């Protein structure tokens, strides 16, 4: 088992409460930062750690922090992105539910570094019960003097509020999140200006994922250099991976970045292999990242073993690679139909498009309708090219990356599983049964060529 | 996709609404969290409270009351209420069953659970049973894909569903017959 | 002053100018270069924070600036991207970009009813112009279009939501010109719609400007006396003393009858001065105005072209054929 930085005490009884958390070394990073470090020194440690945003984009956190504008007399904010709506992703919930104080601690330390006196946790509305857990933890922390005025006599004041959303995937996009936090529709803002300059209430704001902020705790405790020793290349530290789909052991795993993909999916320490059938495909980083055939998940196109790291998973670009994304990992067995799954993905993006810009608003619904027709055996060969063309015209032409996120699953499905789409056109009767491949798995070339 | 429609202005929609004293106090506490002049930030949390106080949905009067509490134009409330999928703009059953239908759940059999619930309750997703007990809603990934299939009812997640467990849940809820809300503690 | 080059044509512009504005400056400097101006369906110079939504104005930045010459990775919305010194932009010279724009136009049209034959805006509709210039040969959309019933919002304005392209201009007008916006966008995604709060009337001094800024026929003037095709009417510039607005308007006449009053639109289709509702809706009497002379229409539009291409356009869009006798009649009138 690799090193556990966030999950070290996940199973320690009482870790959810302040007492248990503190007894296991909790809030040391606040003590260290507020008593012995300058805010700049904290930022430097985060830079040295090589930590990259865990929300999906993987942007270097230290760099993001150093971009924060600091005009005099203007408040700054830290906003924690706990919207966690990327299909396949459930790591933040697990962490917040079990060790809420690690997030609170990370927020205090990070806010000290950023000079923010107020921070918000924007949590998706469906996680109402998790919001209650966080509120409870905040109340405990406040009562113990970790929050409020003049924390530890350092002169640093801090308050944390929990804000619930109300059901909108797009509010995970950082500027839509800020709009929602301001009590508006979750429409992404047109950038520039970026939140670091004009964010919440027009003030400089840093938006970070739950896991990113939690990782600040071990970074400050042990030093950025220590953190950077874990991992490979520019993928440093540990990453929470929420694993689901057709595997034996679904759950949330903290892995050292650079773990071999084969070990992750097949060893009993992690996913435990396939649930009885054969693996067919993998989506390693949430529904927005390209789907790849199982073989391409294990090995790159050049035959190198693939690793669970930002760079290795992306090796081969969109032709043969994918992305680490948010760590929302799910695997498909051979009973699953890629066309059905792509239809389902697209229905999701259609449902979640905010509707501001025309390519995403109109294109996602169009793709869904074409895919629905294909999946039900009512499609035509030209539909496959039409889909390709629609996704191409959405990608890169929208306000926010949701457009790209809607396009990539379609593009990658067609790129890697085109034959399965063609099968749906050729054998409309066979695909009438929604479980068509459960009875007769699709075998590439074989049953297609002979039939 | 689930039909989102204009709010209703019929008799049902014009049923009077007033916040309870406890709810008003909660609204005020929420508004105090934000900087001066930014109380609009409390809109979404307050809409949740209003929905819980109005049998699980937002009538025109409920939204107007929210606008009144926050001093907003009514359209501002309406724009927001209609954007978010957890807000119901039409009456719902005693229980709203939010069944996840997104890909990771589908891989673990959510289609079967949904089909079963539709058959058992005699309604399609989006519909409410004739006795007003259940509203079945197909929703998108609820962040519980490792324990799929799953559904949310009020604040509670029901995970690792099987046909049998879904049946047991329905029976249990029916017997209990008391409304659940997202805001339940 | 930063220098930017668009489709090979250089211009120096003030700091903070957007690519779209720079292109318009090129077009104003020399009419022969007007083709470099990207079409803009949602941006409106006089409305703050407008633009960025429709994506028709996308261009390729092939060189970021002299300082940082890297190209921008994706097409950018020219209406919301400021020029940098030394920036180079490709619009009509880039086939890939034109293809992407065609895609945007196709997206805008898939749910559009194409009811031009019965639309009040026909002849001055930016979507018509756009599809004519950038459209595809045939729509590939074979599904049912979303439909809404037309609604009256108050006595003066009619909303045909079917035609709306969600450019947000009318919302910005209400936000920025009127005291207290009572209409807005409700719902989400492709079921978003413009709505008032429970069909409440949009009534205040400047609300009529929503009609002028609407690029399509979604918001139209209910007081437009009888539904007459705009190209049958005779537009004249006129003004009157008005306490609320500048009182500078265009009267759309038939004989001596004032059928409609609108703001004066410049060559980019934007009004020069917003006018108040009194001037727009209540002064349908030639005696209330001082006529300055005929309105010069300088816009590259269907009215400006002098011959109406509806028939051709309809074929292009693969829409149900328009009412043939109506077209014949129109041709006859036009040819006179
Ligand atoms: C459509 C969309 C949805 C997103 N959803 C989430 C989310 O649920 N949680 C999250 O942390 N980041 C999400 N992001 C990424 C955020 O925009 C942002 O990059 C992130 O919160 C930054 O934090 P990080 O640098 O710590 O990752 C989403 C982005 C997009 C475009
Ligand atoms: S890409 Fe989609 S979600 Fe993002 S702003 Fe445009 S319409 Fe909204
Ligand atoms: S009604 Fe007209 S102005 Fe308003 S958003 Fe729609 S198209 Fe734009
Ligand atoms: S897909 Fe159902 S909870 Fe994630
Ligand atoms: S005019 Fe620029 S995006 Fe619409």
**pLDDT at site C137:** 59
DSSP assignment, residue C195? E
Exposure string of C45-77, with b = 16+ CB inside 10 Å and e = fewer, is bbbeebbbbbbbbbbbbbbebeeeeeeeeebbb
Query: What confidence score (pLDDT) does residue C154 get?
Result: 80
Write the CB contacts of C207 (distance below 8 Å, at least 6 apart in sequence).
C154, C156, C157, C173, C174, C177, C178, C277
CB–CB contact A355 C55 (8 Å): no
Cis previous bond, B154, omega within 30: no
Shared domain for C213 and C300, answered yes or no, is no
Name the strands in the sheet holding A292-293, side by side, starting at the edge strand that comes first in the sequence: A251-256, A238-245, A328-333, A279-283, A292-293
Q: Are residues A350 and B45, on separate chains, in Cβ contact within 8 Å? A: no
Span A371-379, average pLDDT: 97
Angstrom distance (rounded) from CA C260 to CA A249: 71
Compute the Cα dihedral for C107, C111, C116, C117 and give only its sign. Answer: positive
B52's CB contacts (< 8 A; 6+ apart) are B181, B182, B183, B184
Domain ranges of chain B: 12-83, 95-176
Chain segment A215-241, per-residue pLDDT in tens: 999 999 999 999 999 999 999 999 999
Give the mean model confidence (pLDDT) for residues C292-296.
87
Residues B101 and B137: their CA atoms lie apart, in Å, by: 10
3.10.20.880, 3.10.20.600, 3.40.630.30, 3.40.50.1820: CATH of A232-333 = 3.10.20.600
List Cα–Cα distances, C334 to A232, A339, B28, in angstroms. Answer: 73, 53, 65
Q: Which two tokens stand for residue A221?
A: 């405790």
Distance from CA of C173 to the nearest CA of B (A): 15
Structural domain includes residue C296: yes
Q: Are C302 and C123 in contact (CB under 8 A)?
A: yes
pLDDT band at A28 (very low <50, low <70, confident <90, very high): very high
Size of interface A-C (CB pairs under 8 A): 89
Spatial distance between the Cα atoms of C177 and B6, rounded to a whole number of angstroms: 26
CATH code assigned to A338-450? 1.20.1440.230
Do C207 and C238 share a domain, yes or no?
A: no
Q: Is the residue at C324 inside a domain?
A: no
Grouping H, G, I as helix, E, B as strand and the rest as coil, residue A79 is strand
Ligand 4 close to Cβ of residue B102 (< 6 A): yes
Lowest mean pLDDT among A259-268, A335-344, B129-138, C109-118: C109-118
One domain for residues C202 and C150:
yes
Q: Which atom of ligand 4 is nearest to the CA of B142?
A: 3
Pocket test for ligand 5, best of C49, C53, C108, C168 (most atoms within 8 A of CB): C53
A405 lines ligand 2 (CB under 6 A): no
Cβ atoms C189, A351 nearer than 8 A: yes
| Beta carbons of A95 and A211 less than 8 angstroms apart | yes
Which of the listed residues C73, C103, C133 is the one where a domain comes to its end? Answer: C103
- Ligand 1 atom closest to the Cα of residue A175 is 17
* DSSP conformational letter for C38: P
Per-residue pLDDT at B5 exceeds 70: no
A188 touches chain C (CB under 8 A): no
Q: Are A162 and A100 in contact (CB under 8 A)?
A: no
Interface test with A, best of B145, B147, B160 (most A CBs within 10 A): B145
Question: Could you report the predicted ipTM of this complex, rounded to two decimals?
Answer: 0.94
Asked if A167 is an interface residue toward chain C (Cβ–Cβ < 8 A), one would say: no
Contact criterion met (CB < 8 Å) for C188 and B82? yes
Angle of the A28-36 helix axis to the A100-114 helix axis, nearest 10: 10
Contact C184 B79 (CB under 8 A): yes
Pick the more confident residue, A219 or B1.
A219
Of ligand 3's listed atoms, the one at least distance from the Cα of C210 is 3
Most C CBs within 10 A among B71, B75, B76, hence the mutation to make, goes to B75
Contact residues on chain A for C112, CB-CB shorter than 8 A: none
CB contact under 8 A, C197 and B9: no
Identify each DSSP E strand in A16-117 by its residue range: 77-82
Percent of chain C clearing pLDDT 90 (strictly above): 63
Least CB-CB distance to B73: which of C182, C186, C191?
C182
**CB C259 near ligand 5, within 6 Å:** no
Question: Which residues does C contribute to its contact with A (CB < 8 Å)?
Answer: 51-56, 58, 73-75, 77, 80, 100, 103-104, 106-108, 110-111, 140-141, 143, 165-166, 168, 185, 187-192
The phi-psi region of residue B122 (left if phi > 0; otherwise alpha if psi is between -120 and 50; otherwise beta) is left
CATH code where residue C69 lies: 3.10.20.740
pLDDT given at position C226? 61
Yes or no, beta carbons of B73 and C180 under 8 Å apart:
yes
3-state secondary structure of B150: coil
Q: Does ligand 3 have an atom closer than 6 angstroms to the CB of C169?
A: yes
Chain A CB contacts of C76 below 8 Å:
none
Give the model's pLDDT for residue C200: 61
Q: Is C186 on the interface with B (CB under 8 A)?
A: yes
B144 CA distance to ligand 4 middle (Å): 5
Instruction: Give the β-pairing of A77-82 and A118-123.
Output: parallel
Flag if C185 and B79 touch (Cβ within 8 Å). Answer: yes
Quick: pLDDT tens for A69-79: 999 999 999 99
Residues of C with Cβ-Cβ distance to B75 under 8 angstroms: 181-184, 195-197
Mean pLDDT of chain A: 96
> Distance from the CA of C109 to the center of ligand 3, in angstroms?
14
Q: How far apart (Å, rounded) are the C-alpha atoms in residues A343 and A374?
A: 9
**Which residues in chain A are classed under CATH 1.20.1440.230?**
338-450
**Which residues of chain C neighbour A351 with C-beta distances below 8 Å?**
189
Q: Which residues of B31-62 are buried (b: 16+ CB within 10 A; e: fewer)?
A: bebbeeeebbbbbbbbbbbbbbbbbbbbbbbb
Q: Report the alpha-carbon distance of residue A375 to residue A424 in Å, rounded.
A: 7
Q: Which of residues 230-269 of A touch C (CB under 8 A)?
A: none
Residue C305 has pLDDT above 80, yes or no: no
Pairing of strands A77-82, A205-209: parallel
C88 and C146 together in one domain: no
Percent of chain A with pLDDT over 70: 98
Whether C187 and C260 map to the same domain: the answer is: no
- Does C91 share its domain with C146? no
pLDDT reported for residue C316: 35
Q: Which residues in chain A touch residue C106, judged by CB atoms under 8 angstroms apart?
A: 393
Residue A74 Rama label (left phi>0; alpha psi -120 to 50; beta): beta
pLDDT at position C295 is 85
Range(s) of chain A covered by CATH 3.40.50.11540: 18-222
> Which residues, including other chains, have CB under 8 Å from residue A237's CB and lie 6 or more apart?
A5, A49, A50, A51, A215, A219, A227, A228, A230, A231, A256, A257
| Domain interval for residue C12 | 3-103
Phi/psi at A351 (nearest 5 deg)?
-65, -30
> Which residue's entry shows tokens 């005779």?
C234
A225 CA from centroid of ligand 5 (Å): 46
Residues B146, A90: C-beta atoms closer than 8 Å:
yes
Give the H/E segment covering residue C5. strand C3-6
Does C317 reside within a domain? no
- CATH topology for the A18-222 domain: Rossmann fold (3.40.50)
Chain-chain contact of C184 with B9 (C-beta, under 8 angstroms): no
What distance in angstroms lies between residue A402's CA and the mean position of ligand 3's atoms?
A: 23
Q: List Cβ neighbours of A140 (8 Å cut-off, separation of 6 or more).
A: A17, A18, A101
For ligand 5, atom 1, name the residue with the nearest CA: C40
C76-77 and C87-90 beta bridge pairing: unpaired
Is the pLDDT at C323 greater than 80, yes or no?
A: no
Domain count, chain C: 3
The whole-angstrom distance between B143's CA and the closest CA on chain C is 22
| A neighbour chains, 3+ CB pairs within 8 Å | B, C
Portion of chain B with pLDDT greater than 90, in percent = 89
DSSP B20: -
The yes/no answer on whether domain B12-83 falls in CATH 1.10.3470 is no
**Taking a C-beta distance cutoff of 8 angstroms, is the pair C24, C268 a contact?**
yes
Of C71, C103, C135, the residue that ends a domain is: C103
CA of A283 vs chain B CAs: smallest distance (Å):
10
Partner-chain contact A185 C100, CB within 8 Å: no
Beta-strand relationship, C87-90 and A259-260? unpaired
Residue C233 CA, chain-centre distance (Å), reads 19
Confidence of residue A445 (pLDDT cuts 50, 70, 90): low
Query: Mean pLDDT for chain C?
Result: 84
Q: State the pLDDT at residue C328.
A: 30
- Between CA C95 and CA A292 the distance in angstroms is 31
Determine if ligand 5 sits within 6 Å of the CB of residue C166.
no
The string of pLDDT tens digits covering residues A305-318 is: 999 999 999 999 99
Residues of B with Cβ-Cβ distance to C180 under 8 angstroms: 73
CB contact C242 to B (< 8 Å): no
CB-based contact C182 B79, cutoff 8 Å: no
Query: How many angstroms does the Cα of residue A182 sit away from the middle of ligand 1?
Result: 17
CA of C185, closest atom in ligand 3: 5
Query: Is the pTM of the predicted complex or chain greater than 0.90?
Result: yes
CA-nearest residue for atom 10, ligand 1, is A55
Report the pLDDT averaged over residues A248-267.
98
Q: Does the distance separating the beta carbons of B74 and C182 come in below 8 Å?
A: yes
Sign of the CA dihedral with A276 first, then A277, A282, and A283 last: negative
Residue C98 DSSP code: H
**C183: part of which helix (H) or strand (E)?**
strand C183-186
Per-residue pLDDT at C114: 83
Task: Give the model's pLDDT for residue C178.
Answer: 84
- Determine whether C307 is exposed, middle or buried from the number of CB atoms within 10 Å of its CB (0-12, 13-18, 19+): exposed
Query: Are both C188 and C274 inside the same structural domain?
Result: no
CA dist C235 and C232 (Å) reads 10
What is the pLDDT at residue C333?
A: 32
Within a domain: C12: yes
State whether CATH 3.40.30.10 applies to domain B95-176: yes
With CB atoms and an 8 Å threshold, state whether C107 touches A352: no
Q: Which of C175, C196, C221 is the last residue of a domain?
A: C221
Same domain, C99 and C118: no
DSSP designation for A5: S
CB neighbours of residue A93 within 10 Å: 25
| CA angle, A328 then A363 then C38, to 5° | 120
| Atom 4 in ligand 3: residue holding the nearest Cα | C170
Q: Determine if ligand 5 sits within 6 Å of the CB of residue C5.
A: no
Cβ-proximal residues to A92 (8 Å cutoff; 6+ apart), any chain: A82, A84, A209, A210, A211, A240, B143
Tell me the per-residue pLDDT of C234-249, one tens digit each, with 9 for 90 and over. Answer: 899 999 999 999 999 9
Q: Which of B146, B147, B159 should be substituted to probe chain A, the one whose Cβ sees the most A Cβ atoms within 10 Å?
A: B146
| Whether the CB of A105 sits within 6 Å of ligand 1 | no
Determine the Cα–Cα distance for residues B15 and A320; give it in Å rounded to an integer.
58
Closest B-chain CA to C192: B83
At residue C307, the pLDDT reads 31
Longest dimension (CA), chain C: 61
CA dist C122 → C117, C163, C218, C231, C302 (Å): 7, 12, 11, 9, 9
- Residue with the bigger pLDDT between A24 and C178: it is A24
Cα–Cα separations (whole angstroms), residue B170 to A299, B178, C192: 46, 13, 34
Whether residue C98 lies inside any domain: the answer is: yes
What pLDDT, on a 0 to 100 scale, did the predictor assign at position C189? 95
Residue A14, phi-psi category: left (phi > 0), alpha (psi -120 to 50), beta (remainder): left
């Amino acid at each position: 088992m690799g090193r556990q930085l966030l999950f070290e005490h996940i199973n320690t009884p009482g870790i959810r409460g302040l007492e248990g958390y503190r007894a296991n070394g909790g809030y040391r990073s606040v003590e260290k930062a507020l008593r012995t470090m300058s805010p700049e020194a904290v930022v430097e440690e985060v830079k040295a750690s090589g930590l990259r945003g865990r929300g999906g984009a993987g942007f270097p956190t230290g760099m993001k922090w150093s971009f924060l504008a600091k005009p005099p007399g203007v408040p700054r904010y830290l906003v924690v992105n706990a919207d966690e709506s990327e299909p396949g992703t459930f790591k933040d919930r697990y962490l917040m539910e079990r060790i809420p104080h690690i997030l609170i601690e990370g927020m205090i330390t990070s806010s000290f570094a950023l000079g923010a006196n107020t921070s918000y946790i924007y949590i998706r509305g469906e996680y109402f019960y998790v919001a209650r857990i966080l509120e409870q933890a905040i109340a405990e922390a406040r009562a113990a003097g970790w929050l409020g005025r003049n924390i530890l006599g350092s002169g640093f004041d801090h308050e944390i509020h929990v804000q619930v959303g109300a059901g909108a995937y797009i509010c995970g996009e950082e500027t839509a999140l800020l709009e929602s936090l301001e009590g508006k529709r979750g429409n992404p803002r047109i950038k520039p200006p970026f939140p670091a300059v004009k964010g919440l209430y027009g003030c400089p704001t840093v938006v970070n994922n739950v896991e990113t902020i939690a990782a600040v705790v071990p970074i400050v405790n042990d030093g950025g250099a220590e953190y950077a020793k874990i991992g490979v290349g520019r993928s440093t530290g540990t990453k929470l991976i929420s694993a689901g789909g057709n595997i034996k052991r679904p759950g949330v795993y903290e892995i050292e970045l650079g773990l071999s993909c084969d070990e992750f999916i097949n060893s009993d320490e992690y996913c435990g292999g396939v649930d009885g059938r054969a693996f067919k495909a993998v989506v390693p980083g949430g529904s927005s990242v390209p789907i790849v055939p199982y073989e391409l998940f294990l090995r790159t196109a050049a035959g190198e073993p693939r690793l669970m790291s930002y760079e290795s998973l992306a090796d081969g670009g969109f032709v043969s690679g994918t992305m680490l994304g948010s760590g929302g990992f799910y695997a498909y067995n051979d009973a699953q139909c890629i066309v059905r799954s792509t239809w389902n993905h697209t229905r999701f993006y259609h449902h979640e498009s905010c509707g501001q810009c025309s390519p995403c608003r109109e294109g996602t619904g169009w793709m869904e309708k074409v895919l629905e027709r294909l999946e039900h055996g009512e499609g035509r060969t030209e539909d496959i090219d039409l889909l390709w063309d629609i996704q191409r015209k959405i990608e890169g032409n929208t306000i926010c990356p949701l457009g790209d996120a809607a396009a990539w699953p379609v593009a990658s499905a067609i790129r890697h599983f085109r034959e399965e789409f063609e099968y749906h056109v050729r054998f409309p009767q066979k695909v009438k049964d929604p479980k068509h491949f459960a009875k007769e798995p699709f075998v590439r070339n074989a049953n297609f060529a002979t039939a | 996709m689930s039909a989102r429609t204009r709010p209703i202005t019929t008799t049902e929609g014009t049923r009077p609404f007033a916040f309870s004293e406890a709810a008003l106090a909660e609204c005020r506490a929420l508004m105090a969290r934000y900087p001066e002049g930014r109380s609009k930030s409390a809109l979404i949390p307050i809409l949740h409270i209003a929905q819980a106080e109005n049998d699980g949905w937002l009538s025109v009067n409920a939204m107007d009351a929210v606008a009144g509490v926050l001093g907003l134009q009514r359209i501002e409330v309406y724009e927001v209420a209609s954007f978010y999928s957890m807000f119901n703009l039409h009456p719902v059953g005693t229980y709203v069953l939010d069944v996840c239908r997104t890909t990771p759940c589908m891989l673990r059999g959510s289609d079967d659970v949904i089909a079963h619930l539709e058959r058992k309750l005699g309604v399609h997703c989006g519909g409410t049973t004739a006795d007003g007990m259940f509203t079945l809603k197909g929703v998108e990934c609820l962040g519980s894909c490792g324990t799929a299939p799953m559904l949310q009812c009020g604040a509670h997640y029901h995970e690792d569903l099987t046909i049998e467990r879904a049946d047991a849940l329905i029976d249990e809820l029916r017997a209990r017959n008391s409304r659940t809300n997202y805001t339940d503690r | 002053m930063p220098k930017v080059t668009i489709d090979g044509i250089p211009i120096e512009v003030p700091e903070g100018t957007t690519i779209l504005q720079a292109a318009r400056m090129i077009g104003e400097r020399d009419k022969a270069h007007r083709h470099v101006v990207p079409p803009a369906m949602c941006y409106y110079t006089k409305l703050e924070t407008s633009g960025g939504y429709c994506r028709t104005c996308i261009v390729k930045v092939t060189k970021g600036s002299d300082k940082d010459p890297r190209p921008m990775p994706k097409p950018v919305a020219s209406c919301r991207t400021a020029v940098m010194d030394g920036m180079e932009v490709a619009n009509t010279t880039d086939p890939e970009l034109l293809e992407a724009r065609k895609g945007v136009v196709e997206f805008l049209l898939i749910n559009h009813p194409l009811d031009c034959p019965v639309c009040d805006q026909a002849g001055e509709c930016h979507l018509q112009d756009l599809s004519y210039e950038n459209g595809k040969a045939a729509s590939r959309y074979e599904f049912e279009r979303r439909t809404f019933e037309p609604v009256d919002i108050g006595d003066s304005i009619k909303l045909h939501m079917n035609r709306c392209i969600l450019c947000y201009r009318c919302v910005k007008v209400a936000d920025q010109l009127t005291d207290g916006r009572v209409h807005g966008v409700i719902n989400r995604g492709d079921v978003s719609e413009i709505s008032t709060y429970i069909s409440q009337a949009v009534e205040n001094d400047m609300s009529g400007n929503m009609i002028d800024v609407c690029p399509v026929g979604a918001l139209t003037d209910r007081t437009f006396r009888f539904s007459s095709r705009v190209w049958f009417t005779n537009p004249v510039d006129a003004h009157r003393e008005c306490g609320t607005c500048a009182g500078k308007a265009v009267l759309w006449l038939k004989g001596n009858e004032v059928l409609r009053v609108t703001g004066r639109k410049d060559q980019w289709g934007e009004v020069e001065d917003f006018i108040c509702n009194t001037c727009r809706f209540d002064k349908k009497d030639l005696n209330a105005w001082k006529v300055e002379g005929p309105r010069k229409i300088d816009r590259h539009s269907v009215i400006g072209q002098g011959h109406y291409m509806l028939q051709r356009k309809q074929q292009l869009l693969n829409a149900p054929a328009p009412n043939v006798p109506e077209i014949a009649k129109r041709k006859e009138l036009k040819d006179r």
